Structures are given as C-alpha cells and as structure tokens.
Chain A
Amino acid sequence: SQLAEENPWALSVHEGESVTVNCSYKTSITALQWYRQKSGEGPAQLILIRSNEREKRNGRLRATLDTSSQSSSLSITATRCEDTAVYFCATARTGGYKVVFGSGTRLLVSP
C-alpha cells in the first residue's frame, strides 16, 4: 500500500487561479517533501517541511503539515502555464532513507 497519496488525481485551472493539492500519509515521518515533475524531466523538489513545522513557503508555493491527521497540502497562488506538471508528495519513515512517492496529482494550467 502507498505510504503517501495525493488527491485529487487531476486538476485543471486557468492562469491566475489558485490551486491546492492534498496529501495523506501513513507513517511517522521526520519530513515530507513536495516534488514537481514536468513532462520529459525528472522530479524536482519544491518544498521540504519537517515534522516540527506547520507551514513553509517558497515564493507562490505554500505547504502545510498536520502530523495529527497525517496530512499535508501544497497551495499554488497565481498559477502560470508553466506550473503544468505532476505534483508528488514524498515521505520517509522516521530514521529511514527510502523516500516513497505518491502517485501524483496532474495539474493543467491553461491560458
């Protein structure tokens, strides 16, 4: 079973709109990572949020973490066409090295 899972499976918005991707995970973690993968590229980390943090920002991106409900969210404000990508959350068990990725949320931003 997946250690982490994003929802929804896909999203479609217009440029300028805001969007939120959610992630639920199943294990005790030291940190949760959000990655973005554009077509033809490998995933690239957007934000790493540690278990003792509740919120982290990176430009137009904002990640939250709720360890009590084992959930996280990634919000993108003022979306752009270049934000079109698959967004993954990824976790590793506390003390572990193996980062496990969810199946991703496919975001399409159209003009």
Chain B
Amino acid sequence: NAGVIQTPRHKVTGKGQEATLWCEPISGHSAVFWYRQTIVQGLEFLTYFRNQAPIDDSGMPKERFSAQMPNQSHSTLKIQSTQPQDSAVYLCASSLVVGGEQYFGPGTRLTVL
C-alpha cells in the first residue's frame, strides 16, 4: 500500500497560469478530501468527494478553483489564472468511511511567482 499519492510534489507557476494537481487515493477508500495549508490560515478544507461524486465544495474559492474525480483512482484540483495568494501546500486525503481516519498524501507545494 503506497498510501495517498500526490503529484507533483512541487510546482512553480507564473501569475495568471493554470496549475493542475493530482491525487491518487488509497484503493478502496470511498471518501476523498482536498485541503489547503498555509502558515497564516492553517489547514483549510476545500472540497470532498464520496464515491467519486462531489458532495461539498464549500471551501473552494469561487471562479478559479475546480476539482474533479473522474474515476475512483484519481482526483484533480485545477486552479486557473493562479495568483500569488494561491501559494500554499495542497493536501489530498482519503478515508475508508466518512468520518473515519483520514490518510493524507505528502502534499503539493504550489508557488505562484
């Protein structure tokens, strides 16, 4: 079991460019979460999928952020027209059951210049 896999580990983009972050949850886990972590805001919930269906995207900044889960083996977080304030570590987590232990990936550190 390789755990939750996130790629890339680091990404640098210029202001206004698009960034796509990938997550492969643990096989068999029905819930997938995306979080953003910064020094100032801490660990913030972004969005949640259950059995691939989007359930809650209340934490997603409007307009530029979108997340998809086209199949049970991966999810993507896309940020359009990136801004310096989007710089953060983006963490993906999966859990076997809702409300249970969440297994986190190592995160993708996004730097927007």
Contacts and interface: CB of A to CB of B under 8 A. Distances in A.
Contacts of B31: 97
Interface stretch (A20-28, A37-45, A51-59, A68-76): A37-45
Interface of A: 30-31, 33, 40-45, 48, 88, 92, 96-104
A42 B106 contact: yes
A105 B103 CA distance: 20
A5 to B, nearest CB: 10
Interface in B30-52: 31, 33, 42-43, 45, 48, 50
From A42, A48, A101, residue with most partner B Cβ within 10 Å: A42
B-side interface mostly: strand
Contact of B48 (A33, A44, A97): A97
Interface residues of B, number: 22
Interface string B87-108: 0000101000011111111110
A31 B102 CA distance: 13
A103 B42 contact: yes
B55 interface: yes
Contact of B99 (A43, A96, A100): A96
B98 A97 contact: yes
Given A97-B55, A98-B48, A33 B43 contact: no
A101 B101 CA distance: 13
